[in-house]
């Protein structure tokens, strides 16, 4: 368990931060951008949960996802080593990705197929989930960019990819229980 006795250290006052392995890097390093964006996604999901209190199943999924996002941040914060042994660092694992897939499949089975793109909106929770989805997509783009130059856990990238799908389907699932999705009408305002 993590114990924090002091919140500020002054260690970052000159624009650097420490990674999980102790290495010092600029605060604008791509790896820091990636896990910082994961943290941003987690904050959006935290705000979304304020609007999902009436939906215990959705709120329970989002609670698990928030915990997973801390795992994902820890994974990205600790550079993957070639000789790393299993369990040496906290990493996203295939079971976490599989759980998202199972939840997506269960929710999607209750939804009609899409005949148009969905606009972010509908219920408050659905609109916030769409915001979360876009932040997760940005994190995924940063992760894949990072993977071009540094080793990144492939399950971490798969998790981010599946999570954005999950948030999209969860938004649709919540909208189905209310007024429905807001659909794009191409050229509607010409």
The yes-or-no verdict on residue 8 having pLDDT over 70 is yes
User: Each residue of 139-176: pLDDT tens digit?
Assistant: 999 999 999 999 999 999 999 999 999 999 999 999 99
pLDDT: which is higher, 13 or 66:
66
Q: What pLDDT shows up at residue 1?
A: 66
DSSP result, 3-58 = --S-S--STTTTSEEE-TTS-EEETTSHHHHHHHHHHHHHHHHHHHHTT-TT-HHH
The yes-or-no verdict on residue 6 having pLDDT over 80 is no
Which residues, in sequence order, are CB contacts of 121 under 8 Å at separation 6+? 127, 130, 182
User: Hey, is 126 helix, strand or coil?
Assistant: helix
Domains within the chain, CATH numbers bracketed: 24-111+119-177 (1.20.1200.10)
Q: What pLDDT shows up at residue 3?
A: 73
The DSSP symbol for 7 reads S
Cα 170 from Cα 108, distance rounded (Å): 9
pLDDT: which is higher, 63 or 179:
63
Cα 181 from Cα 96, distance rounded (Å): 28
Q: What pLDDT shows up at residue 41?
A: 98
Cα 25 from Cα 41, distance rounded (Å): 22
As a residue count, the chain comes to: 190
Neighbours of 68 (CB within 10 A): 19
User: Each residue of 118-147: pLDDT tens digit?
Assistant: 999 999 999 999 999 999 999 999 999 999
Lookup: tokens for 34: 């990636």
Neighbours of 180 (CB within 10 A): 14
| Radius of gyration of the chain, Cα coordinates, nearest whole angstrom | 18
């Amino acid at each position: 368990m993590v114990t924090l006795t002091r919140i500020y250290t002054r260690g970052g006052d000159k624009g650097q931060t420490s990674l999980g392995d102790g290495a010092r890097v600029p605060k604008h390093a791509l790896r820091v951008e990636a896990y910082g964006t994961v943290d941003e996604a987690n904050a959006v999901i935290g705000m979304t949960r304020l609007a999902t209190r009436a939906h215990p199943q959705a709120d329970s999924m989002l609670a698990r996802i928030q915990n997973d996002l801390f795992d994902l941040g820890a994974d990205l914060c600790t550079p993957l080593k070639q000789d790393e042994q299993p369990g040496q660092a906290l990493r996203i694992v295939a079971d976490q990705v599989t759980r998202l897939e199972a939840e997506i499949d269960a929710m999607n089975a209750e939804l009609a197929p899409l005949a148009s793109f969905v606009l972010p909106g509908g219920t408050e929770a659905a609109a916030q989930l769409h915001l979360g989805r876009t932040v997760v997509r940005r994190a995924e783009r940063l992760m894949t960019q990072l993977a071009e130059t540094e080793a990144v856990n492939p399950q971490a990238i798969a998790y981010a990819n599946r999570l954005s799908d999950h948030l999209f389907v969860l938004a649709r699932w919540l909208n189905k229980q209310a007024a429905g999705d807001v659909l794009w009408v191409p050229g509607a305002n010409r």
